[in-house]
Structure 1
Amino acid sequence: MAGEETLSRARGFSAWTTSRWLRVGVAVSLAVLTVLGVTGAWVLGRTASLSDDLVDAKSQAVTTAVRLESALLNQETGIRGYGLTGNPEFLTPYQQGLTEQAADTTRLSQMLEKDPEGLADLRRVRDAVEKWQARIARPIAAAPAGAPSPLAAERATEGKASFDQLRSALTHQQERLRSEQSQARDSLAATMRLRNWVFAAIAVVILALAGLVFEGLRRGITQPLSRLGADARAISEGDFNRPITPTGPADLRRLSGEIDVMRRRLVQELDVSEESRRLLDAQTADLQRSNSELEQFAYVASHDLQEPLRKVSSFTQLLQRRYAGQLDDKADQYIAFAVDGANRMQVLINDLLDFSRVGRVHHAHQSVDLDAVMEQTLSALSVSIEETGAQITSDDLPSLVADPTQMGMLWQNLIGNAVKFRRQDQQPHIHVTADHEGPLWRFTVTDDGIGIEPEYAEKVFVIFQRLHTKDVYSGSGIGLAMCKKIVEFHGGTIAVDPEYTGGTRITFTLADAPEGSEDAAAAVTDLDHAEPTT
């Protein structure tokens, strides 16, 4: 039964959590320290009380009793001298003794207020003093000066006996006061010894308690956490097959179990990740092969397809010039269709090549002054700007880490579109803004042109998507798709502002330095000192 009870108690303790152990430990420690503090305070108070009683009461009472005896001796000496000689000078110590007697008696009464035996001794002394003064001192002091007092000789024997009784009362009083003083001194010494033992015991208990707390923390928290940390470090270093042994309080054991479950899950995830990596490697190989084929297509499109297309375009143009007006109207119309189709096919191929090169050919990131890029863009579009009378304004544009060629393509497409898609009855007004928003710059290009309906806000960024026929507005429908690809390549986003109704507002963001650029960190650091790109 005793073994089962011990086992049950051990199981109960094993279910305690760290917080419960800490609460119990703190409660026990506070209780022990409270008991020790109360005991120490009681001992200190007892010592202070005895010390005050010895110094302020017992010792002062003995001293005052001795002074009272001295005052009475002065009275006896003065009265005896005055009675024998009649010299008034002998009354001076007598009068002084009376004053001191009254003061000492009053002081003793106050000191012995809580001591009945002491007050009884004081009354006996007072009675003896009163008897001696009534029979001897006052009658002799009242005798005429200048001659010996007959009363002094007459009552000499009675006076001696009366003063001896007074002296006996004083002696008894002083002996009892000295006895009480000695007892108080012994009690103080005993209490001080007890105080020393108590404080020594308090120190030992505090040290033992500190040792128990330290050992409990070491075994219950520090060691289990150290072991758990060692296991976790081993797992983090790659030893995923190392099991975690639960130790310590219940919550730490649960934590160890959860980490072990996480370890097993991590092992499973690593197996899945390894399989995914193999699949990804295969897909990467397929993607590389696809990119290689795309590059071959771009080469073919830029060389092999361009040559026959140029021949078709050249000969159809020759055919148009030589036989214009010699054939019927239908033939001239068909020839014009062929020339226009060949030219548009050549423009489409060139635009498609430019689109495919974004992020693949032009990726030389460096500090780019967008104000300088804007000036170059306006210079390139100067003919169409002069023809339309466009007014283009812009805020101060920042310097960014970007590809300068792509930045030129971005601004040329955006400004060119704003000039192209104008209202026919008015001059276009275009304004460019730039605002810093955290790590990004937000740019807007706002015009007062024909605008874009909200339902086409996403469609305009799809390659070759046109909202108007080529007869109304020229172009291949690749401009905004090119802008989107450039912005996303630089870590930003681009969209049409659907809330703006006075024309078209294109808003896009660019980072100070796109992630992955080779010299992004250095360029951001030296951005303020970089020379503008020209």
Structure 2
Amino acid sequence: MSSDDTRPPAGGLSAWTTRRWLRVGVAVSLAILTVLGATGAWILGRTGTISNDLADVRSPALSAALHLESAVLNQETGIRGYGLTGSPEFKGPYEQGRLEQDADIRQLTKLLQDDAAALEDLGAVRGAVERWQDRIAGPIAASPPGSPSPAASERATEGRTAFDAVRVALARQQERLRADRDRARNELMSTMTLRNWVFGAIAVLIVALAALVFEGLRRGIRIPLERLGADARVIAGGDFEHPIAATGPADLRRLSAEIDFMRRRLVRELAFAEQTRLRLDAQAANLERSNTELEQFAYVASHDLQEPLRKVSSFTQLLQRRYGGQLDERASRYIDFAVDGANRMQILINDLLEFSRVGRVHNAHHSVDLDDVLEQALSALSISVEETGATITHDRLPTLTADPTQIGMLWQNLISNAVKFRRPDEPPRIHVTASPEGELWRFTVTDNGIGIGPEYVDKVFVIFQRLHTKDAYPGSGIGLAMCKKIVEFHGGTIAVDPDHRDGARITFTLATQPPPEPDALVIPQATRAGAETTS
């Protein structure tokens, strides 16, 4: 499949990948939310400004103006009573009014410092009050108490005119302040209404944006992935010819195309695997036929081949006993060679039979206490152990799932080798250790015998490989080869420790559970490949 098969159409929105859609969507969403947030912040700020102006300036200013009017009226009432009667108690309200007037004017000046028109009205009020006080209230208040003030009667008309001007100035000031307060209140209500609309619009836009995002994710990602998953399930169900539809953004379409390419590749691999399975079935049939022939050969070797050897050995020995006195020394030696050769051939045949039975006849795995198996092997070797004065010790051995017959043969071969290849000047000392190593157990069999040279550490496990002559050390040279086969059948390895110098040390591993049977690995290998190509 060429790269063009998985390339999305170039140009336009169809070429956008999921990442690009997400980036654009996030950028647009953030821009909209930023604009909405800035608008909302401005509306909140404007509402707070108007509310503060109304609460801190307009309403207090109108209250101060009303209080100023009350203070001026108290002055007019007190000064009029003092002018008509000369009684000192009328002068108190006038003096108190003057003090309140000054305080109200200072407060209004502070509150209205940013309002030129309101300050102009305050100036008009102050001018009218000061003119009234200079022309009317001041001279009357300066008259001695006890009798009516002449100025009160002389300037009665002027006083009414001057105070009317004060009233007009106060009324104009209050009217402006009241109008400003009402205008601020109306503006506050309008701004609050606008704020409610803006935040309602923000909420609606956020909901709409969230719905748009979810709908985009549903159409752009979830639905294409669901279609891809549905196609994959159809293929997994066995319909390997079912095509995978490419939908969604460019990268998801590319992914669908790649998976469809993999499907077509797996279809080809499955066909090849099926052919391989058929060939393996044929090979398995041939192997089964070969095993049957091997069983027949083993039967022949154990019966038909040994019978002539027994006859050769028996009749040769009879010949020696009957005609021993008539034969010379050379003839007797030839007869001994013939008997020894026949016996050695029987031993080799028996050893070969035992070697071929490993994993074929002896294959009954169950829980085995290696301590018990080792003790049984030592019991079988008790005569040679007693004759050589061997000392055999061992650590606590584990319990594994294994074939007890094979494990017994393993211990017997290793211990008998350690006893056989001893030094002539000292009795054998043999020690067996065991230690866990992951999912395996590592064992060592260490002796103080003649040892194994570094150049022979690999050769000793080859069948019929002997390092000494049969006259020096008897045996067929098959013991360690059988040990190697037994250990490997139980999922382990065996080797000679080249670093051990004082004698020989054989180290091997055994699995806690037996590995799969070799025959079970032939056909499932192909079926596993077929299964993998369909997953």
Q: TM-score range by the shorter chain?
A: 0.7 to 0.9
Q: Give the match for residue 171 of structure 1.
A: 171
Cα distance in 1, alignment partners of residues 72 and 115 from structure 2: 23
Match of 2:355? Answer: 355
SS where residue 444 of structure 2 aligns?
strand
SS at match of 2:510: strand
**How many residue pairs align between the two structures?**
509
1:112 aligns with 2:112: yes
Q: CA separation of 1:196/1:336 partners in 2, compared to 1, >3 Å: closer, same or farther?
A: same
For 2:467, the equivalent position in structure 1 comes to: 467
1:442 aligns with 2:442: yes
Deviates more, 1:317-326 or 1:168-177: 317-326
Question: C-alpha offsets along residues 432-463 of structure 1, whole Å, 9 cap, x if unaligned?
Answer: 33332322222233334333334433322222
Which residue does 1:27 correspond to in 2?
A: 27
Partner Cα separation in structure 1 for residue 370 and residue 482 of structure 2:
18
Is structure 2 residue 47 aligned with structure 1 residue 47?
Answer: yes
Deviation at 1:391, TM superposition (A): 3.7
Q: Does the CA-based 8 Å contact 1:128-1:162 persist in structure 2?
A: yes
Question: Which residue pairs with 2:487 in the alignment?
Answer: 487
| Change over 3 Å in CA distance of 1:330–1:27 after alignment to 2 | same
* Alignment-derived partner of residue 392 in structure 1: 392
Where 1:304 maps in the other structure, the secondary structure is coil
Return the structure number with greater relative CO, CA threshold 8 A, min gap 6.
Answer: 2
Moved more, 73-82 or 230-239: 73-82
Single out whichever of 445-454 and 23-32 deviates more from structure 2: 445-454
Q: Distance in 2 between matches of 1:427 and 1:95?
A: 138
Contact 1:325 1:332 in 2 (8 A): no
| Structure 2 residue 430 is the aligned partner of structure 1 residue 414 | no
Which residue of 2 is the match for residue 125 of structure 1?
A: 125
Equivalent residue, structure 1, for 2:533 = none
C-alpha distance after superposition, 1:21-75 (max 9, x if no partner)? 2212221222222222222222222222222222222222222222232333334
Residue 183 of structure 1 corresponds to 183
In 2: Cα distance, 1:384 partner to 1:469 partner: 20
The residue aligned with 1:431 is 431
Amino acid aligned to 1:104: D
Superposition deviation, residue 464 in structure 1: 1.8
Q: Report the Cα distance in structure 2 between the residues aligned to 1:187 and 1:249, rounded to whole angstroms.
A: 51
List aligned pairs for 1:221-370, cutoff 5 A.
221-320=221-320, 327-370=327-370
Give the match's secondary structure for 2:452.
coil
CA deviation string 1:305-332 (max 9, x = no partner)? 3334334334444555566676332223
1:317-352, Cα deviation, whole Å (9 max, x unpaired): 455556667633222322222232222222222222
CA distance in 1, matches of 2:147, 2:411: 142
- Aligned counterparts of 1:100 and 1:388: Cα–Cα separation in 2: 134
TM-score where L is the length of structure 2: 0.86
- The answer on whether the counterparts of 1:497 and 1:505 sit within 8 Å (CA) in structure 2 is yes
| Distance of aligned partners of 1:37 and 1:336 in 2 relative to their CA distance in 1, 3 Å threshold | same
* Structure 2 residue matching 1:430: 3-state secondary structure: strand
Q: Distance in 2 between matches of 1:195 and 1:156?
A: 57
Letter in 2 for 1:219: R
Q: Give unmatched runs, 5+ long, in structure 1.
A: 1-8, 518-534
The aligned runs of 1:493-504 (5 Å cut-off) are 493-504=493-504
Deviation at 1:139, TM superposition (A): 5.4
CA contact (8 A) 1:136 1:159 kept: yes
Question: How far did residue 469 of structure 1 move?
Answer: 1.9
2:402 is matched with which residue?
Answer: 402
Q: Distance in 1 between matches of 2:251 and 2:157?
A: 99
- Post-superposition offset of 1:283: 0.6
Cα RMSD for the two superposed structures: 2.8
Report how far residue 425 of structure 1 moved.
3.5
Secondary structure of 2:303's counterpart equals: helix
Runs of 4+ residues deviating >6 angstroms: none
Residues 166 and 289 (structure 1 numbering): CA distance in 2 closer, same or farther, change over 3 Å? same
Identity fraction in percent: 72
Change (3 A) 1:159 1:388: farther
Aligned to 1:3: none
Q: Secondary structure at the match of 2:238?
A: coil
TM-score normalized with structure 1 length: 0.86
Shift of the 153–282 alpha-carbon distance from structure 1 to 2, 3 Å rule, reads same
Unaligned runs of 5+ in 2: 1-8, 518-535
Residue aligned with 1:291, SS: helix
Q: Distance in 1 between matches of 2:425 and 2:191?
A: 113
